[in-house]
Amino acid sequence: MRVFLLLLVVSGGCAAGAASAFAVTLLHPQAPTAASDRPGSPDLKETPEFVPVDVLLPLVFSDGQLAGYASLKLQLRVAPGTGEAVKERLPLLLNAVNLQTYRTPLASGADGRLPDLSNFRLLVQRCADQALGRGTIIQVAITEARTS
């Protein structure tokens, strides 16, 4: 009796799962299969274009005291064909980043000599949206970080 009940519960669960899957395919017949199929996402089939940037980052504690400097190499992903236009406007982005890094505590670690890379990436994206226009920089990749 116990085995029969167990088989009944398992088969009932399978039937409910199959019915749910069938209902989903009826309601959403063509679900997007890749990120490029979603509206508003960049086309991933094209070759991505990257703009290299070198940044000297001041590492500042939350109280405003300077802990040191870090040298970072970035690769800014831009829409294909817009790399040259972004390179011409890089001084505006670097100015915006410099103005923000002295106000943003990016020093981490016991002695403050490690840069907070995730917050720095967000800071660069925010500055790029303000200085170059929203959506100009698709992604910020930090390729190298050295402290001094």
64-80 per-position pLDDT tens digit: 888 888 899 999 999 99
58 three-class SS: strand
- Burial class, 28, CB count within 10 angstroms (exposed 0-12 / middle 13-18 / buried 19+): exposed
Contacts of 112 (CB under 8 A, 6+ apart): 59, 61, 67, 68
Q: What does the pLDDT look like over 105-141, one tens digit per residue?
A: 888 877 777 888 888 899 999 999 999 889 899 999 9
The DSSP element (H or E) to which 22 belongs, if any, is: helix 2-27
d(C-alpha 55, C-alpha 48), whole Å: 22
Burial of 108 (0-12, 13-18, 19+ CB in 10 A): middle
What whole-number distance in Å separates Cα of residue 73 and Cα of residue 69?
13
Q: 0.85 cut: is pTM over it?
A: no
Give residue-wise pLDDT tens across range 27-47: 766 645 555 544 555 555 678
- 143 close to 50: Cβ distance less than 8 angstroms: no
Residue 52: pLDDT above 80?
A: yes
